[in-house]
Amino acid sequence: MAALRVAVVGAGSISREFALQHFGPQTHTEVACVVDVDEDRAKVLAADVGSIQAGAAVTGDRKYKSKAVRQIGTPVPHFTGLTGSALDSCDVVYVGTTPASHLALVSQALAAGKHVILEKPISASGEDADAIVAAVESALADRGLHTSLNIGMRWNAALARMRNELADQRLGALRGGSLRLHFQTWPRAWQRQAWCARRAEGGPLREVGTHFLFGLHELFGHGCVRRVMASVVFPDGSEGSAAEQSVEGVLELEAGCRGSEGPPVRIQLSVRTTGQLDLQAAGRDLYELVVDGELGSLKLFDFTSLEDGDGKTLVSEAAYGRQECVQELVAAVRGSEAVGASRMVTAREARSAQRVLDAILTSSGSWISVSYD
């Protein structure tokens, strides 16, 4: 069966990793073209893709520096917009652009009859998220077009182990937990685009917190976060444009969620971007979700590693789940999975995580209930 052809829209760090490492024979896909408003970036990535397709090796690490080790072959076509030519060349559109552009690009792709892989967060606003959910659900029901959100927590082996431990009640009754995201600086060194530093589309909660808020839903059930209370500090004040500098708050889970007894479990939230790092991080950025129970605790750290309360490593540096995201879409498009068996992250699930995020950002120190459909 022929590989699914992919138009890669956006030539930034994550798009580059997908184009060079996850779209290829290993996932029964191939990059058909590259699209970016910055033609130079599109041209460079198109040349790297052509080199990989011609047999060059890809080099890179977990810091999003993928590239072809040598330039050979012919670059794939590149464009500065999702034009008719770009759409005609593909079966799938991968949208790896800034959040505010997602609605227009997803709508354009679906209107052209293309399947979609969409980067998190789903959008930059609740209104856009609602519109995306409506569009993708209609496209699936009416035309069989699939949309998959790239939120790797769905396939994260460390999170899955954590969920299984909770399901088996290895921690006993749950007592609480914490989510800490501490950064030496924001934006991070590999992500120094202006939009990442702005409130409208960027910030650590939107860019990183989305993963962990979705992860909480994976652990405790979608819609588990019932209300939030947080104090958010912006460096230029509440009316400015800069992204959040710090957040301190509480996420309250639904009473009776997995393994809990008595009052609702509360997750303490701490986000910092000023270099005030926990000493345990030893000068590195800190990504840490801890769940505490009467019999012990579990800590998910650095996204894909897990240890218990005694410091015993249970999972170490598992995959991020990006390749699985592609594989699930391909399986859905080809109809190779049983009805209801797909594990793709849906737009509705991604919107649930965004609703928690939006509640945090607007809390202003008061409790806000989170609503779901």
Task: List, for residues 16-28, the tens digit of each pLDDT value.
Answer: 999 999 999 999 9
347-362 and 210-220 helices, crossing angle to 10°: 120
Per-residue pLDDT band at 281 (split at 50, 70, 90): low
Average pLDDT over residues 337-363: 89
Q: What integer best gives the mean pLDDT of the chain?
A: 93
Indicate whether 259 pLDDT > 60. Answer: no
**Domain spanning 4-152+322-343: CATH 3.40.50.300:** no
Tell me the two tokens of residue 57. 């090796």
Cα-trace Rg, the chain: 21
Q: What is the model's pLDDT at position 282?
A: 60
Tell me the two tokens of residue 111. 């209107």
Indicate whether 164 pLDDT > 90. Answer: yes
Q: What is the model's pLDDT at position 140?
A: 97
Q: What is the model's pLDDT at position 298?
A: 99
Average pLDDT over residues 29-45: 98
Indicate whether 35 pLDDT > 60. Answer: yes
**Cβ–Cβ under 8 Å, residues 77 and 89:** yes
Strand order in the sheet with 296-301: 313-315, 305-308, 296-301, 286-293, 174-182, 266-272, 246-253, 225-233, 368-369
Average pLDDT over residues 328-347: 84
| Residue range(s) occupied by CATH 3.30.360.10 in the chain | 155-319+352-369
**Domain spanning 155-319+352-369: CATH 3.30.300.30:** no
**Cβ–Cβ under 8 Å, residues 118 and 108:** no
CA distance 295 to 317: 25
pLDDT digits (tens, 9 = 90+) for 62-89: 557 789 999 999 999 999 999 999 999 9
Report the DSSP beta bridge partners of residue 121.
Answer: none
Q: Measure the CA angle with vertex 97, ends 152 and 52; round to 5°.
A: 75
Q: Look at the block and give the residue holding tokens 């345990």.
A: 280
Average pLDDT over residues 331-347: 82
CA 291 from chain centre, in angstroms, equals 21
Q: What is the model's pLDDT at position 252?
A: 98
Pick the closest to residue 175 from 166, 187, 186 (CA basis).
166
Q: What is the model's pLDDT at position 260?
A: 60
CA distance 56 to 75: 12
Q: Look at the block and give the residue holding tokens 């993928």.
A: 66
Indicate whether 238 pLDDT > 70. Answer: yes
Per-residue pLDDT band at 278 (split at 50, 70, 90): low
| Residue range(s) occupied by CATH 3.40.50.720 in the chain | 4-152+322-343
CB atoms within 10 A of CB 200: 14
CA 258 from chain centre, in angstroms, equals 24
Q: Give percent of the chain with pLDDT exceeding 70.
A: 94
CA distance 323 to 315: 19
Indicate whether 263 pLDDT > 90. Answer: no
Average pLDDT over residues 85-106: 98
Per-residue pLDDT band at 284 (split at 50, 70, 90): confident
Indicate whether 143 pLDDT > 60. Answer: yes
Report the DSSP beta bridge partners of residue 305.
Answer: 301
Per-residue pLDDT band at 107 (split at 50, 70, 90): very high
Q: What is the model's pLDDT at position 373?
A: 84
CA distance 46 to 74: 9
126-143 and 102-111 helices, crossing angle to 10°: 10
Q: What is the model's pLDDT at position 63?
A: 59
Indicate whether 168 pLDDT > 60. Answer: yes
Q: What is the model's pLDDT at position 337?
A: 62
Q: What is the model's pLDDT at position 341?
A: 65
